[in-house]
């Protein structure tokens, strides 16, 4: 079973990684905000730095998600083992459906209720901390996503404006070409600039205007290309943030139901021991979870079905490779239900 405080190190690492990820993501979005304001030349953007900033933010978010995912799964395994140990107190055949698991349990022998409760207290304490991390992560990531979307709109509007400016320049270029062609056709085959100075000046002016239009179009096209590159970078960031928010939602939803399962199991075990001696040693965070459970009239209701649903949503969102084949999923899936 779990060793007391065995989750503390991972939780501390998850907290530090989340803080770093939120800070890095905030810096990336703030950088985008400076581009969204406006009319500045995009060639002032240091794209290697921008891409590195975004990549580091994404890597930190992935690291945070991996840590949180591992914690949710490890806590679930502790609960499953505690549940098995509790069932073995009344059914010595419990666990025979998984021989390898049973061998590990039998090697240690049946656990006393007090020992099972101690492990559940450790799991609940870690759950309380992880729950706070999810409550910190979700609004922070949602805020970053919202800001990223707003700033992206500004950059996209600027790129669209460049599209119109390029079209206008191209129309001007077509008009100048038409005037040059018309002037050339009107000139006699024996035309010499010295003989017709006024026509030669018009021709040179048109060529100079054409050259200036081409230079302007090249600048606009370069600006548009760079602006589109910026959009691609931050659209990818927005996609990552959206996926992270969905992942946090799935993990938090599972953790909520798993906490109910732990408390329900804890209460069942409490009937077999002297509760005051154990309750007195519980952390305030665990007591807070238990009080919230007791004050919620729906807590523990239809727990098995709700647990099955959140586990499926969790696997579909975060571990799709562990889902059964599509044909089997269709028979058991309840995709029409909200993901909570």
In this predicted structure, what is the pLDDT of residue 248?
95
In this predicted structure, what is the pLDDT of residue 95?
53
In this predicted structure, what is the pLDDT of residue 85?
78
In this predicted structure, what is the pLDDT of residue 294?
80
Average pLDDT rounded to a whole number, residues 162-179: 89
How many residues appear in the chain? Answer: 340
Task: Give the residue with greater pLDDT, 272 vs 225.
Answer: 225
Helices (H), the chain: 8-36, 47-88, 99-108, 113-186, 197-270, 275-279, 284-295, 303-318, 326-332
Average pLDDT rounded to a whole number, residues 119-124: 88
Average pLDDT rounded to a whole number, residues 135-142: 95
In this predicted structure, what is the pLDDT of residue 137?
95
User: Is the pLDDT confidence value at 11 over 60?
Assistant: yes
**Residues whose CB is less than 8 angstroms from the CB of residue 80 and which lie 6 or more positions away in sequence, other chains included:** none
Counting residues of the chain whose pLDDT is more than 70, the rounded percentage is 75
Average pLDDT rounded to a whole number, residues 230-253: 92
User: Is the pLDDT confidence value at 130 over 90?
Assistant: yes
Average pLDDT rounded to a whole number, residues 108-117: 73
Residue 301 DSSP symbol: T
User: Is the pLDDT confidence value at 198 over 60?
Assistant: no
Average pLDDT rounded to a whole number, residues 42-58: 84
pLDDT tens digit string along 160-170? 998 999 999 99
CA distance 10 to 1: 17
Each residue of 262-276: b (16+ CB within 10 Å) or e?
A: bbebbeebeeeeeee
Average pLDDT, the chain: 80
pLDDT tens digit string along 89-101? 655 555 555 656 5
CA distance 199 to 191: 9
In this predicted structure, what is the pLDDT of residue 143?
94
Residue 58's pLDDT band, with cuts at 50, 70 and 90, is very high
In this predicted structure, what is the pLDDT of residue 21?
94
Average pLDDT rounded to a whole number, residues 202-227: 86
User: Is the pLDDT confidence value at 194 over 90?
Assistant: no
CA distance 163 to 115: 70
User: Is the pLDDT confidence value at 150 over 60?
Assistant: yes
Residue 192's pLDDT band, with cuts at 50, 70 and 90, is low
* 3-state secondary structure labels for all residues of 215-281: HHHHHHHHHHHHHHHHHHHHHHHHHHHHHHHHHHHHHHHHHHHHHHHHHHHHHHHHCCCCHHHHHCC
Our measurement of the distance from residue 114's CA atom to the centroid of its chain's CA atoms, rounded to an integer in Å, reads 40
Task: Give the residue with greater pLDDT, 281 vs 57.
Answer: 57
In this predicted structure, what is the pLDDT of residue 336?
40
In this predicted structure, what is the pLDDT of residue 197?
57
**pTM of the complete model:** 0.78
What 159-162 contacts at long range (C-beta under 8 Å, 24+ apart), as own/partner pairs, is 159/224, 159/227, 159/228, 159/231, 162/220, 162/223, 162/224, 162/227
């Amino acid at each position: 079973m779990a060793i007391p405080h065995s989750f503390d190190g991972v939780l501390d690492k998850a907290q530090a990684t989340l803080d770093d990820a939120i800070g890095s993501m905030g810096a990336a979005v703030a950088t985008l905000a400076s581009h969204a304001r406006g009319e500045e030349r995009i060639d002032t953007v240091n794209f290697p730095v921008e891409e590195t900033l975004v990549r580091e933010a994404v890597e930190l978010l992935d690291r945070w998600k991996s840590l949180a995912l591992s914690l949710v799964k490890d806590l679930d395994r502790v609960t499953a083992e505690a549940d098995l140990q509790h069932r073995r107190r009344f059914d010595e055949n419990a666990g025979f459906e998984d021989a390898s698991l049973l061998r590990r349990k039998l090697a240690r022998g049946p656990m006393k209720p007090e020992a099972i409760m101690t492990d559940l207290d450790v799991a609940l304490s870690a759950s309380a901390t992880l729950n706070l991390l999810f409550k910190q992560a979700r609004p922070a990531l949602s805020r970053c996503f919202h800001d990223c979307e707003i700033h992206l709109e500004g950059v996209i509007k600027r790129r669209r404006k460049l599209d119109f400016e390029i079209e206008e320049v191209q129309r001007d270029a077509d008009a100048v070409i038409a005037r040059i062609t018309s002037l050339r056709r009107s000139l006699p085959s024996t035309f010499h600039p010295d003989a017709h100075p006024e026509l030669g000046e018009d021709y040179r002016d048109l060529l100079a205007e054409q050259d200036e239009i081409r230079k302007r179009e090249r600048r606009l096209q370069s600006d548009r290309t760079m602006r589109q590159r910026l959009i691609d970078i931050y659209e990818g960031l927005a996609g990552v943030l959206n996926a992270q928010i969905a992942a946090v939602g799935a993990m938090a939803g599972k953790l909520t139901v798993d906490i109910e399962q732990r408390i329900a199991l804890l209460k069942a075990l409490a009937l077999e021991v002297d509760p005051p001696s154990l309750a007195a040693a519980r952390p305030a965070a665990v007591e807070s979870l238990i009080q919230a459970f007791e004050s919620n009239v729906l807590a523990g209701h239809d727990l098995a079905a709700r647990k099955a649903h959140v586990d499926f949503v969790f696997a579909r969102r975060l571990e799709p490779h562990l889902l059964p084949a599509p044909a089997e999923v269709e028979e058991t899936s309840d995709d029409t239900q909200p993901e909570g």
